Copies of this chain bind each other. A is one copy, B any other.
Amino acid sequence: MKRAVFFVSDSTGITVEALGLSLLSQFENVDFEVIRRPFVASENEAREVVRQIGCAAKERGQRPLVFTTLIDPRLAAIVHLADAFCISYFEAFLAPLEAELGVKSTHTVGRTHGSAGNGGYKHRIEAINYTLAHDDGVTDRDLAAADVVLVGVSRCGKTPTSLYLAMQFGLKAANFPLIPDDFERGELPECLRKNREKLFGLTIQPERLAQIRAERRPKSVYASLANCRREVAEAEKMMRGEGIRWLDSSHKSIEEIAATVLQELQTHKPARAAD
């Protein structure tokens, strides 16, 4: 029987779930069943969660694991009464942090999202709108406003990476496909050359690319391994020639690709464009 895992939060539960899953991923041979309880905001709701935890414990004959980010100490105390192994994030770290900073915490619910870290709701919405409007080379208008312009062959991961950069980090992320026309001409389109310092390339193993393309257009030339090999080789040659930084997206998650791009943008300050 799978071990029950509760993620309990007074807000979205996204942070506590990320923490819990990163810990649980260290136990490959244990099967877990995740039960989410976000937006627990009252004592009654906390008591209801305790009841559900109790039921899961009884049903499975094993006490559940409970991860919580309840900020209100009264709610946290209630959940602690549950028949469970409980990891309470704020309880573990707020007191030592208060001691270190020499001030009391404000015990306020749900301040993480929307304001601080991600640079404000409006800023993110603008970044998302920009990114959607500049997906897949749809337009080269207003590229001057981009924080980054991803380039690479069709289906190498540009769109999800752009969206993640916008959503998570508030970056205006345009993306442009590198296509056979560019390879024949032997140079980047003008609009990209003018923004060379913002370019970041994605590449991909031809075998993986062929697989992805075949799901869209089975048995096409577009998806054939020979064609994928040629396009990837041409794209890498072009990026090398133009001095564009790039990374291989083949075995990386969207988060890893996006975080790598962000790190590269921050550590290597934009070089002046050559022309």
The residues of A with any CB-CB pair to B shorter than 8 Å are 3, 11-15, 17-19, 21-30, 36, 38-39, 65, 69, 71, 85, 87, 89-90, 92-94, 96-97, 100-101, 103, 105-108, 110-117, 121, 124-125, 128-129, 132, 135, 159-160, 163-164, 167-168, 252-256, 258-260, 262-263, 266
- Chain B residues, Cβ within 8 Å of A24: 116
Q: Does B27 lie within 8 Å of A19, measured CB to CB? A: no
Q: Does A107 lie within 8 Å of B26, measured CB to CB? A: yes
Nearest-Cβ distance from residue A195 to partner chain B, whole angstroms: 23
**C-alpha gap A175/B36 in the complex (Å):** 25
Q: Does A101 lie within 8 Å of B27, measured CB to CB? A: yes
- Chain B residues, Cβ within 8 Å of A164: 167
Q: Does A71 lie within 8 Å of B26, measured CB to CB? A: yes
Contact of A22 among B69, B167, B168, B252 (CB under 8 A): B69
**C-alpha gap A132/B136 in the complex (Å):** 12
Q: Does B253 lie within 8 Å of A19, measured CB to CB? A: no
A-B contact pairs, 16 of them (CB 8 A): A12-B255, A12-B259, A18-B112, A19-B19, A22-B111, A23-B89, A23-B93, A25-B108, A25-B115, A25-B116, A26-B108, A26-B111, A38-B263, A113-B253, A128-B160, A132-B132
Q: Which 10 A-B pairs have the closest CB atoms?
A: A114-B253, A12-B259, A26-B105, A25-B111, A113-B253, A15-B18, A21-B117, A22-B112, A85-B100, A113-B255
Q: Does B168 lie within 8 Å of A89, measured CB to CB? A: no
- Known contacts A15-B18, A124-B254, A259 near B38 by CB under 8 Å: yes
- Chain B residues, Cβ within 8 Å of A19: 15, 18-19, 89
Nearest-Cβ distance from residue A226 to partner chain B, whole angstroms: 24
**C-alpha gap A108/B12 in the complex (Å):** 27
Nearest-Cβ distance from residue A201 to partner chain B, whole angstroms: 18
Instruction: A3-B101, A36-B266 given; name 10 further pairs at CB < 8 Å.
Output: A21-B116, A24-B116, A25-B111, A26-B105, A26-B108, A39-B259, A92-B92, A114-B253, A121-B253, A167-B167
Contact of A27 among B28, B38, B69, B106 (CB under 8 A): B106
- Chain B residues, Cβ within 8 Å of A125: 160, 254
Nearest-CB residue, chain B, relative to A257 = B12
Q: Does A23 lie within 8 Å of B94, measured CB to CB? A: yes
Nearest-Cβ distance from residue A261 to partner chain B, whole angstroms: 11
**C-alpha gap A132/B15 in the complex (Å):** 25
- Chain B residues, Cβ within 8 Å of A23: 89-90, 93-94, 97
Nearest-CB residue, chain B, relative to A102 = B30
- Chain B residues, Cβ within 8 Å of A36: 262-263, 266
